[in-house]
Structure 1
C-alpha cells in the first residue's frame, strides 16, 4: 500500500550468515532514513533454525516499521554451488516473511543497485558507502550488510517502482 506520494521501503540484502535490512521513507525525490540493522545467525545452529531466525527477524522488522513495499538484491551465482544454495535458502526465508506481510517485493541486480545509487554498475563498496552518506546524511549504519540493504532501498526509490501515477 502506497501512502499517496510517500512510500516506506524496506531494503534487504539476504545472507545466511548476516542479512542486512534498511528502511527508508521516499517522498518524491526526497529520501530519509527510518532504521537499519543486521540479522546474524549462529553458524553452529541447524539450517532450519537459522532460516526460522531470519524469517522471524524480518517479520519483526516489518511489524515494527510497517513498510509499504520491499526491495531485495537478486541472487547471484557463486563459484561454489553450496554457497549459492545457502544464499537462495536465506532469500527464501526473507521473501517468505515479506509474503506473509503481503508486501510487494521488487528484486534488483547488484549492478543495477550500484548504478542507481552511484551512477555506475562497477562501483565498489567504498563508493556505495560514500554516496549513502550523501543521500542519508548523519545516519549511523549497523554494518556493511545494512549499508547494502539501504542501497537496495535507495535504488528502488530512484527507479520509481512504487510511486503512484497521478
Structure 2
C-alpha cells in the first residue's frame, strides 16, 4: 500500500537524475562489453584499441542521461506544474548514502588496477578494471539510492 501512495508523490530532481543515469549507463556498459567481446574474438588483448570505444560509450551515456533527465523534467513539470520538484534534505541524505555504497566499488576497481599494474598486465585490463570500478560504483550506488527512496532511510 505504501508503494502505491509513494508513486503518486512527485519525483524529486535527484531521484529523476538517478533513474536517468541508470537508464543511460546500463545500456552503455552492455554496448561497450559486447563491443570488446566481439573485437577480442579476433584480436589479441594487448592489441585491442579500447580507448575510443570506452570514451565514446561513456560520452554517449552521459549525453543520454542528461537528455533523459531534461525531457523527463519537462514532462513532469508540465503534468504537475504546481508541485515543487526540488531536492530537499532527504534527497541529500539519500545521495550521500548511495555514494558511500558506490565508493566501495570504485576502491575495488582502483585496487584491481594497482594489482594489474604490479604484474605488468596489458593496459587493456588495467583500463577496464578502472572502468569496471566506475561502472559498478555508479550502478550499485544508484540502486542503493533508489532502494532508499522506495524503502526509506534506516
Q: Normalising by the residue count of structure 1, what TM-score does the alignment of the two structures yield?
A: 0.30
Answer 1 or 2: which has greater strand percent. Answer: 1
Answer with 1 or 2: which has the greater Rg: 2
Q: Normalising by the residue count of structure 2, what TM-score does the alignment of the two structures yield?
A: 0.32
